[in-house]
Amino acid sequence: MRGVFGTELTGEIANRVGKALGSYLANGRIALGRDTRVSGPAVERAFLDGVLSTGCSVERYGVLPISMISFETWRGGYNAAAYISASHNPPEYNGIRFRTSEGYGMLYHETEMMNLYEKGTFLKGDGKLTDRSPDDALRRYADYVEGKLTFGRPLRIVLDMGNGAACGTFPLYQRLGFDCRVTNGEPDGLFPGRGPAPTEESLRDAARMVVETEADYGVGFDPDADRGLVIDDRGRIVPPEKVAVILAKERYAPGDKVVAGFDCSMIVERELLPLGFEVIRERVGDVFVANRVKEEGAVLGVERSAHLFIPEFQLSDDPFAMSLALGEIVSRGERLSELADAIPDYPYVQRSVRIEGSAADLMRRLEGDLAPLEPDTTDGLKITTEDYTVLIRPSNTQPLIRLYVETAGTDVEELVRRFMGFIEGATR
């Protein structure tokens, strides 16, 4: 659930969502957290009133990264978790996210929850609210991950907290012996430091700090801290697919499974298949990748948007575990820039086309036009050849058709022109 607070997402809607979750869980025990958004307390209050009115008990952690709420949910024996955030959306947005009892993304459309929401058939009861310490949760998480990591030398890291839920997590790194340099570390729901979305552009100051302080690497978090963009020692963003490849090569073994989002770079297959890994593609969306990782027993999951899943730590997307596992690798010798440069870069272009009318109808026309190329229809239309991949799919949130083109040899701009022609033809 996500939208502009006060119009698209109101207190009434948040209250109804709470009633739906509470009725679905029937006297269950729920963990609750949020990011730093200004509207967070208001959404939380409305949601809480709804959940408690069904008889469920809620344990509220306040501002804490969603990955740590996920950890608490799994290790603490909760029935589910809810989290108040709109992820990387602008400050005026907010939303409500859900986690299963094992801490990973809930496919709520596949539960009875949506039917309850729509029908309004809610349970009634007198629930109990308990407040939990976010600092205690951070310590429990640190206790857990510390036992899974061994560092060959002390590391220096730059942490761009983005004024979000990651603020205050630097003691985790300090406890593990890191020399931490923090930027945008003050909680502020307006995200004044560099905005809510970590991107190559918004992380320029953090990248400069990595170089100037001679740090080993840096990480830039989004407001709910389920994603972390990695900056190498030369101040360059390391694509999430490269991070996944490095982790797989250095931490796992031939025969292991890696799940990659449908729009991820072809480097995942090109680097890992020759080493004996199995690569499984899943539709775009962190919740879908999370569930596929669980189903397949994969050792890694990766989305192009920088969601990384490392089940040896937990099933949730977890940028803290990712950054620490990466640090363990770097501490053994090679610089992160050297590890990243050992993996080739392929030209990758994304275009968006605004549409009117039905995206489903347009995609059906495109499927007919592209039939001779035998596209994979798992998520949109994907064409894979020896030299290039092309993915055409509708946006999940906006009236857009997105085109992704990646090539290992063919002229990428020529491919963009060619397939944009198909899209424009289908819109007429």
The set of catalytic residues is: 87
Q: Is 183 helix (H, G, I), strand (E, B) or coil?
A: strand
254-263 burial code (b ≥16 CB/10 A, e <16): eebbbbbbbb
Q: Which residues contact 91 (CB under 8 A, 6 or more apart)?
A: 37, 38, 189, 190, 191, 196
C-alpha R_g of the chain: 22
What are residue 317's DSSP bridge partners? 309
Give ∠ CA 182-219-68 in degrees, rounded to 5.
Answer: 90
DSSP, residue by residue, 297-317: T-SEEE-TTS-EE-TTT-SSB
Kindly give the interhelix angle for 319-330 and 134-146, rounded to the nearest 10 degrees. 40
Q: Which residue has the tokens 């349970």?
A: 123
> Which amino acid is located at 357 in the chain?
G
Q: At 118, phi and psi to the nearest 5?
A: -70, -40
Taking the C-alpha atoms of residue 125 and residue 213, their distance in angstroms, rounded to an integer, is 56
Strands (E), 288-417: 300-302, 308-309, 348-354, 381-384, 388-394, 400-407
Taking the C-alpha atoms of residue 326 and residue 247, their distance in angstroms, rounded to an integer, is 7
